[in-house]
Amino acid sequence: MTRDQYTLTDPTTLYEANEPQAQELDGPGTDAEMTPAADLGEQTYRGTGRLKGRKALITGGDSGIGGATAIAFAREGADVAISYLPEEEEDAQRIAGLIREAGTSAYTFPGDLTDAAFCKSLVADAVEALGGLDILVNNAGKQQFNEDLTTLSDEQFDATFKTNVYALFYITKAALPHLKPGSTIINSTSVQAYSPAAILVDYASTKATINTFTKALAQQLAPKGIRVNAVAPGPVWTPLQPAGGQPQEKLKDFGDESPIGRAGQPAELAPAYVFLASPESSYVAGETLNVNGGMPTP
């Protein structure tokens, strides 16, 4: 029997063949380079029409959690636009192909989210291509470990906030005029917002900011019928980790600290985004949905 996300499985042994390995990826890293490959649900996610006719923009939609979410959205019936860095083109075209195989439309927009002008043009171009917009997923992120605040450069601190926080602000602000009642905004935060690692001071700080931004904006937009929520992943095997997100010596044990005892896979995050995007979650606003293998959060 072919497994899908509804198949009864033991979560502790589900991904024994996908255990992280030490490796060093250049730049932002890509799914195409990872060993072992991350599971984005290519062979397992089964849609049931929950997002039929919807129009979604996903930042960082070329790989990792964003890529898995793009696949899931398409298989649920949504047309999907993804943004990504130009050097991630190979991953982006693979995801676009999987979206089209699902029978919906895919649009790709390479660019740098630290550029405010690109963020604004991205929304305009996505709205034009999709013929509207009713799901926004702010997922793109930058994570680079640093063991000593005195060596954390001003440039890295600035780039982390510009990628993770400023881009979210620019894109959401540009999207709001296009969102009608029933639309949803989903922001990717992290367990790091609650339990920050000593080597991720800048990254963890941005994720705490995203949590608060989400809760505040949810109160502002809920009366207008627009729901804002967040997903907080725990340790998940994506290119972010071997591309400087974690020290090499920590990769082989990455995720072992979770009660489930392993790193998560992007395919295990996508259903949370589908739930928050769909009308099933019509009474959920300002929520941070933790998908972290059982790691306690406040």
The helix or strand, by DSSP H or E, that contains position 230, with its residue range, turns out to be: strand 227-233
Helix (H, G, I), strand (E, B) or coil at 277: helix
CA distance 24 to 10: 30
Contact 69, 139 (CB under 8 A): yes
Q: Is residue 283 annotated as a catalytic residue, yes or no?
A: no
Q: Are 44 and 267 in contact (CB under 8 A)?
A: yes
**Both tokens of residue 248?**
């090499």
Catalytic position from the list 107, 203, 273, 283: 203
**DSSP per-residue codes, 27-93:** TT--GGG-SSPP--STTT----STTTT-EEEEETTTSHHHHHHHHHHHHTT-EEEEEE-GGGHHHHH
Structure token pair of residue 12: 């502790």
How far apart are alpha carbons 14 and 273 in whole angstroms? 21
Cα separation, 92 vs 132, in Å, equals 21
Write out the two tokens for 44: 């397992």
Radius of gyration, CA atoms only, the chain: 18
- Structural element, H or E, at residue 227: strand 227-233
The residues annotated with a catalytic role in the active site are: 203
